Amino acid sequence: MDEIRRRIATGVYGAQSLLPAERALAVDLGVSRGTLRGVLRQLSEQGLLTSEGRRGARVQAAFGRAQRGVVGVVFGSMPPSSPPSYSSEKTLVLDGIQDALLRLRQSYKAIPVEPWQRLDQMETIRECGVLVFVETFQREQEIEALWRRGVPLVVANLELDLALPCTRVDHEAVGRSAARLLMALGHRRIGMMIRDPNRVFYGRFLRGCQSALEEAGLRAAGETVGVSRDYLDPQEPVKVAREMLSRKPRVTAVACGRDHLAKAVRQAADEMGLALGRDLSVVSYDDCSWAEGQGFLTTFREPCRELGAAAVEMLTECMVYGRVPTEQRTLAAPLVLRRSAGPAFETDSGPLDGGGAVLLDVRP
């Protein structure tokens, strides 16, 4: 029974599709036909299947236990001043959600939320049986209130420490891996470029970088951290990067919390005549907020579409199994190795021995 439920939840047996013939399914599951018939009867009583006589058993709608079968895909509207990372990231997560719902043949309604609207007062949200949120768009308390009231929901790409069903990335592990990669290339003076560490995931990314440096016996000094706090001034990250690169002794590598911050580092480096990958190595995270950087920037790719698709799978399981304990599913951010990260030609102790080997050990 659990295996058939799992296959329905993950779309192996899609909505309105017929299950395999009894004989073949019993062999596949390793049970007798009598046992299988008993399971199918129970699943029919629960509303997941309907019996069509000799034709077999047909899967009902993917969200068979929902009172209403429409999925609400809820996201915050994007003002013109939105940073590039937010708009591109959210669009890709939405693509993953919609693709997964289409594969399941599940009807859904896209619900943009304006800043002045309250979730509990929106009729479009109340009309939906289940909800999937694209991030929390600063509505954490409202989403938590819906969850406490028993509304089945999942947050795709949760970047805050909240006890909600969600898909997420371990940003501390990304920061740790970024610093380890740069150290494996011989760098010992490593800077970090982030936004406000008290917002979203930047503090965790910074902790990951610093913990990796400390484990290697390197000092994670505060002066090697550039923090861009002004989200409205597009030149402010460049000013911060320029200041960090001007300090002596100069860092030979920078780990950036977002690709658009790596763009600022690149601009500052260009002004100082530093070539990325040779004079200055840069490693970043997201692979979506700087289109030009996708040609040369070494980065840990944010699995945006996968975060959306996995959220739909979790929501389907919730409806097939009934309300389940809070689950947080963590997805890996794979390394995309390009030419912005190169070996350090000089360390604090002098030039590197060109004949030596570099051990690359990038682990979460």
In the block, which residue shows the tokens 């979506």?
Answer: 288
Q: Which of 114-128, 327-341, 346-360 has the lowest mean pLDDT?
A: 346-360
Closest C-alpha among 88, 93, 138, 95 to residue 113 = 138
State how far the alpha carbon of 360 is from the alpha carbons of 11, 183, 186, 282, 298, in Å: 39, 9, 10, 16, 14
The pLDDT value given to residue 61: 60
Residue 153: what residue type?
L
The pLDDT value given to residue 113: 95
> What's the rounded Cα separation, in Å, for the pair 210 and 218?
9
134-174 pLDDT per residue, tens: 999 999 999 999 998 888 899 999 999 999 999 999 999 99
The pLDDT value given to residue 354: 36
> What's the rounded Cα separation, in Å, for the pair 136 and 168?
12
Identify the DSSP state of 123.
Answer: H
Q: Return the HEC string of 49-97.
A: EEECHHHCEEECCCCCCCCCCCEEEEEECCCCCCCHHHHHHHHHHHHHH
Q: For residue 28, give the 3-state DSSP assignment.
A: helix
> What's the rounded Cα separation, in Å, for the pair 64 and 230?
47
Task: Find the helix or strand (DSSP H, E) in which 335 lies.
Answer: strand 335-336
193-219 pLDDT per residue, tens: 999 999 899 999 999 999 999 999 987
Structural domains of the chain ordered from first start: 2-59 (1.10.10.10), 71-169+304-331 (3.40.50.2300), 171-302+335-345 (3.40.50.2300)
**Two structure tokens written together for 65:** 């236990």
With a threshold of 0.85, does the pTM exceed it? no
21-47 pLDDT per residue, tens: 999 999 999 999 999 999 999 888 877
Cβ count within 10 A of residue 132: 28
> What's the rounded Cα separation, in Å, for the pair 1 and 168?
29
* Class of residue 124 by CB neighbours under 10 A (exposed 0-12, middle 13-18, buried 19+): middle
43-89 pLDDT per residue, tens: 888 777 888 888 889 987 654 444 346 899 999 986 555 555 557 89
